[in-house]
Structure 1
Amino acid sequence: MQRIIVDPPATAGTGAAESGVFDSPRARLDFYRHEIHFESSLLSNRTNAYLSAQSFLVIAYASSMANVNASWGHLFTLVVPTLLALLGMVSSMHAWPGIRASYEIICHWQFKQRQLLASEPAMGQAYDDSPLFSDWENSKKGYHVSLLFSLRTPWIFSAFWLMLGGFSLWAQLR
């Protein structure tokens, strides 16, 4: 008969604080900073992928608007640019939740970091009398301003695609 060897069951008294996950405020701060860095990288990757996709759509839109074929160019420039504009709007709507989720997670970890630094004044002192983090870096406004580009990009491209779709319909139907 075969036996499966498993870890012994955890007792009721082994919580995160007792198991030594954060044995010091510095370890907790390092954890928060790591999570902020990870989510910031994820947000950057999502924004870069979104911008790359949008740039290819813009190139395809411009190329399709330049079609001057006499036999089918009018129908092509009516349908294809409008569909590309619609695709751009749909991709913007699908990119928004992921970008917003990363932003909210970054806000959560920044809040936890601010609370830790406020509750542990000695943590802010490095090896000298200068604070570890400046007031600007530790304030909500500081990191929020740095994330605005990623937050605004899907909305800007949505408006851009709405204008381009309207323009392509107007240019072909007038």
Structure 2
Amino acid sequence: MSKIITEGSHLQQESPADILLFGTPKDRLDFYRREIQYETTLLSNRTNAYLTAQSFLVIAFASSMANLNPRWGELFTLIVPTMMAVLGIFSSLHAWPGFRASWVIIDHWHFKQSHLLRSDPVMGNAYDDSPLFNEKESSQKGYRKSLMFSMRTPWLFVIFWMVLASFCICIQLSNAS
């Protein structure tokens, strides 16, 4: 069995504990794939919960802007929607570290998987002569593109809430004068 020697492969000698833990390279690959799937599912759940919370906040913002009460409507539509926009900004800023942590972990497991596939070419030819994973499927660019929605969403909502807060304040101050 031939192995491709890559830079740094001599630094990571398998210890007897590693061999007992994983058994075969396929066991190691399966472990990496399960970890990637788990973290991707976790990131997806975080994104879904975040988008649900933001959508309810947008609905509450729009409803509060529609207040037409003649006695206190102007003050209400100045303060409450602005506070909701600030809440949206803070919740987006607080959601970002969780998204980032998942991204870092997914990146780590993809790196480990890629290293395994490059260092053990037998893994790629499991059932036939065509590789199980080609460079396009296991490259950093591929999976990172799929994570960009979750990574960009909090920042897009920060911008969105800043625009809405500015709009709310400008509308109310222009109506007051």
Work out whether the TM-score is over 0.5: yes
What is residue 16 of structure 1 aligned with on the other side? Answer: 17
1:55-66 to structure 2, matched below 5 A, reads 55-66=55-66
1:62: Cα distance to partner? 0.4
2:169 matches 1:169: yes
Secondary structure of the structure 2 residue equivalent to 1:144:
helix
Correspondence 1:97-112 to 2 at 5 A: 97-112=97-112
Q: CA deviation at 1:21?
A: 0.9
**Separation in 1, partners of 2:166, 2:145:** 32
Residue 150 of structure 1 aligns with which residue? Answer: 150
Distance 2:56 2:103 in 1: 25
Measured on the aligned residues, the alpha-carbon RMSD in Å equals 1.2
* Displacement of 1:113: 0.3
Secondary structure in 1 aligned to 2:67? coil
AA paired with 2:154? P
1:91-121: CA deviation from partner (whole Å, max 9, x where unpaired) = 0000000000000000000000000000001
Within 5 Å, which residues of 2 pair with 1:49-60?
49-60=49-60
* Superposed counterparts of 1:63-82, under 5 Å: 63-82=63-82
Q: Which moved more, 1:130-139 or 1:93-102?
A: 130-139
Q: Report the alpha carbon displacement of residue 16 of structure 1 after superposing the two structures with TM.
A: 2.6
- TM-score (norm: length of structure 1): 0.89
User: Once the two structures are aligned, what percentage of the paired residues are identical?
Assistant: 62
Cα-to-partner distance string for 1:19-46 (whole Å, 9 max, x where unaligned): x111110000000000000000000000
Question: Cα distance, 1:130 vs. partner?
Answer: 1.9
Whole-Å Cα distance in 2 between the matches of residues 94 and 16 of structure 1?
39
Q: In the alignment, what sits opposite 2:31?
A: 31
Name the CA distance, whole Å, in 2 between partners of 1:72 and 1:16: 71
Amino acid at match of 2:157: F
Distance 1:136 1:65 in 2: 49
2:101 corresponds to which letter in structure 1? A
Task: Measure the CA separation in 1 of the matches of 2:44 and 2:137.
Answer: 19
Count of residues in correspondence between the two structures: 160
- When structure 1 is superposed on structure 2, of 123-132 and 54-63 the one drifting more is 123-132
Query: Can you give the 5+ residue segments of structure 2 that lack an aligned partner in the other structure?
Result: 1-14
SS across alignment from 1:52: helix
Q: What displacement does 1:128 show?
A: 1.3
Q: Which has the higher helix share?
A: 2
Runs (4+) of structure 1 exceeding 3 A deviation are none
Q: Tell me by how many angstroms 1:53 deviates.
A: 0.3
User: 1:134 deviation in Å?
Assistant: 2.9
Post-superposition shift, 1:15? 5.9
Distance 2:110 2:47 in 1: 20
